[in-house]
Amino acid sequence: MKKLLFDWFSQKKRDLPWRHTKDPYLIWLSEVILQQTQVVQGLSYYLNFSSKYPTIEDLANAPEDEVLKVWQGLGYYSRARNLHKTAKIVTETYNGIFPNNYDEIRALPGIGDYTAAAIASFAFDLCYPVLDGNVSRVISRMFGVITPIDTLAGKAELMKILNKQIDKKNPAEFNQAIMEFGAIQCKPRGTLCETCPFQADCYAFRHKVIDILPMKKNKTAVKPRRLDYLVCIEDNHIWIKKRMNRDIWQGLYDFPETDKISKNWKLLDICEHQLSHQKLTISFWKTEKLPEKLKSSAQKVPISQFFEFATPKPIHNFAIKNQLITNSVEKKSPNVKKL
Ligand code: SF4
């Protein structure tokens, strides 16, 4: 398997900036950004983060609000908060030097088995196979693993195969190659079997079960949820609120929420937004006066500064769509639309 995989990788691999570094900080940064994110989208965030925070100390010293703002649009904001927390730990506990062994890397916030193995192998050439969604699919198909890949037994079976297959002299290249193979050849849909070098040996291809493998036990339950926001503008200021609780979008800013709708409010917009575990239906209500009981958890900010706050995607989209502020990103004079 190794030889075919390495040959394929040398011909097909994409030229990505994090493949040219052994710096564990930059490798970790790229891995965190790329969790749940396509390379095309993650690339600009990686370039932005690595130029704004070239060292882990730079990231550790940045305010959390700023880090969340740079992260805005990527979703799964706990990744950004853990990124910041871990940068502080490495700076304070390890004098800014990323730990160079699997167990210490794995113990850092937000770093699971997969990310620890990626950093350990890519930065330090340690022999730990990576097992993410792409790799699980490739191994399950090639070796005919029918145990569901989202179970402990399934993961153990895949790991056993990977531990046999990994190139012990070059674990970094092997891990990079198999992940890339899953991302661009053995894809979830539109699998490129016709040009695959493993066709002759691949269990799924020979048995025509490509669409069935990998098997999964649990489909994530998605709960519907309704959010009603109050959009209240007073004297060129707007009421916003920071989400403090352990809930979606923790640390980001949105509008004050209400669970009762007054007939005096005007519905400005309604949209749906899908998160991993929740399907949101979001309504935006215009009000001239914010109810007193909502004021203590909210703050009034100049409307021209609205886009300086990190906001969840639907809030950002609402503000753009409704021209809450025109060109405020460039900080031109605010042009408040009469909402
Ligand atoms: S033959 Fe198809 S299913 Fe099998 S490894 Fe290649 S791309 Fe994947």
CATH 3.90.79.10 domain residues, the chain: 223-330
Residue nearest to atom 2 of ligand 1 (CA): 193
Atom of ligand 1 nearest to the CA of 141: 3
Q: Quick check: 325 pLDDT over 70?
A: no
Q: Is 210 in the pocket of ligand 1 (CB under 6 A)?
A: yes
Residues 6+ apart with CB under 8 A from 226: 280, 281, 282, 283
Q: Is 143 in the pocket of ligand 1 (CB under 6 A)?
A: no
pLDDT in tens, 27-47: 999 999 998 888 889 999 999
CATH of region 223-330, choose from 3.40.50.410, 3.90.79.10, 3.40.50.1970, 3.30.470.10: 3.90.79.10
CATH 1.10.340.30 domain residues, the chain: 2-206
- What is the topology classification, in CATH, of domain 2-206? Endonuclease III; domain 1 (1.10.340)
pLDDT in tens, 280-309: 999 999 999 999 999 999 999 999 999 999
Told to judge if 104 belongs to the known catalytic residues of this protein, a careful annotator would answer: no
pLDDT in tens, 176-203: 999 999 999 999 999 999 999 999 999 9
pTM of the model: 0.77
Amino acid (one-letter) located at 207: H
